[in-house]
Each structure stands twice: as C-alpha cells, then as structure tokens.
Amino acid sequence: MTHTVGILGGMGPAAGADFVRLFVQACAQQMRARGEPVRDQSFPEHWLAQVPVPDRTDALASTEQGAHQPLEPMLQALGRLAALGSRAVAIACNTAHAWHGSLQARFPQVELLHMARETARQLAEQGARDVALMATEGTYRVRLYEQALAEAGLGCHIPSVDERRIITRGIFEGVKAGNMPLAAQCFSDVALRLAERHGPVTIIMGCTEVPLGLQGLPAVAGLDLVDPAQVLAAALARRAYG
C-alpha cells in the first residue's frame, strides 16, 4: 500500500520539474529495496503544484506585507495538495523553508518535510563533521542550514561576499534565465574555491538551481557534492511507501 504525497514547486518551475524526476528515481529505489519489480502501477499517487511564487530572497529582505510576499500563494498551493489527499509534502525550494513553520501550522494534517533538517540528519549519519554551503542570500540570511546543521552537530563554512554574488548570478542570470553555460561557470568557480580553502569538505548545493548547473561538470568531478533536493525526494518516497 502506498500513500498520496505532494510536491510544492514553481520556485522555479525547472527545479520543481526536476524534483519530480528525483522523486520517481527514489520511488524506484524503494521498490528495489523491497525486492519488488519496478512497475508503473507500483508508483504512488503524487501531485505537483507548480504555482507562481514571488521571489523568496527579495521577500526576506523586506519587512513590508503585500503581494511580493510568498506565503499566501504557497498556502493556497499546499491547501490544494492537502485537498487531493497528500499525507506528506516536499517543498522544491530551499529558501521557501523560511516559511516552513507558518505553512505547517496552517496544515497540521500534512507532514511538511524540511529539506535542511533531512540533509543535516543524513550527513550526520554518514559521519560528516563540517560542510560548505552554496545557497541564495535569503537562505544565508535566515541561517536555514547553519541552524539545522548545528542541531545535528555539524559545522558550516559560508562563501565570501564575492563568492555569494557569483552564486546569485549563476542562479538568476544562469539557470533561471536559461543560460546554463554561465551557470556552470559561476557554480564551478565557487565550488572549486571552497574546496581549495577548506580541503575535501562536503559541499551542500543548497539552492535547487545549483545542481542543475553544477552536477556532472568535469571540473568538479572530484568534489563531494550533496543535493538536498535528492535527499528530500528520498525522504518523500519513504513516506509514500511507509
């Protein structure tokens, strides 16, 4: 028996669509681990809500209320997923987890997974001690990963101001604008700098756009890269089959 689950996407749409791919892969792994054949009929019912959501980093930089705030459209999308019977929901955006508490409080009947906590828990179980974080300015501002990692007993290295500008350019002028060569250049530049400065450290790709422009590049083949979206997709698959 499987359970219906949901994915809150649209932040951006490419990341939401890619999260479905990661979730389907994780479901197939669940079937294999259970000794079951991978069949179309064995995948759980899952719903993707791709809704336009105002920029999360810009919203966190503003204390004013209004249409530029992302909470209301996320609440509406989560409500639709709950109405469709989703028992657990994953948010396919790191920075959006700044509103995790408000979303979970409004829909207590749904288990809203937390990407940073799931990632920190997995890294701690694997014996990691400290990591480096590539993320959006909004994610850095609310210390989303630093807090989750500290709770799991892990330290966190943050890129310099200049390196963070380069990451931001890769996200917005690269992946979100469809310029993947620029994204690859920006992300690999920062990842290699972090590895040179901190040694063989695990690098968390803490924005769903970063893996889209970084993974698979020959220049970073020797680095230990962790994709929180992949970790979250695996966690959602466990709920679907749990």
pLDDT digits (tens, 9 = 90+) for 221-234: 999 999 999 999 99
Share of the chain above pLDDT 90, in %: 92
Q: 143: left (phi > 0), else alpha (psi -120 to 50), else beta?
A: left
Both 90 and 141 in a single domain? no
**End-to-end CA distance of the chain, in Å?**
9
Both 127 and 218 in a single domain? yes
Q: What is the mean pLDDT of residues 36-45?
A: 97
The pLDDT tens digits for 207-223 are: 999 999 999 999 999 99
Residues whose CB is less than 8 angstroms from the CB of residue 218 and which lie 6 or more positions away in sequence, other chains included: none
Q: What is the mean pLDDT of residues 154-181?
A: 96
Both 159 and 140 in a single domain? yes
In terms of residue numbers, what domain contains 107?
5-114+230-241
Both 120 and 218 in a single domain? yes
Distance CA 216, CA 12 (A): 21
pLDDT of residue 2: 96
Q: What is the mean pLDDT of residues 174-183?
A: 96
The answer to whether 239 touches 5, Cβ cutoff 8 Å, is yes
Residue 67 has pLDDT above 80, yes or no: no
Both 51 and 127 in a single domain? no
Residue 63 has pLDDT above 80, yes or no: no
Q: What is the CATH number of the domain that holds 15?
A: 3.40.50.1860
Report the mean per-residue pLDDT for the chain. 95
Residue 14 has pLDDT above 90, yes or no: no
pLDDT of residue 65: 77
Q: Which pLDDT band holds residue 131 (cuts at 50, 70, 90)? A: very high
Closest CA to 3 of 109, 76, 93: 109
Q: What is the mean pLDDT of residues 125-146?
A: 95
Query: How many domains is the chain partitioned into structurally?
Result: 2
Pairing of strands 111-112, 88-91: parallel
Both 60 and 83 in a single domain? yes
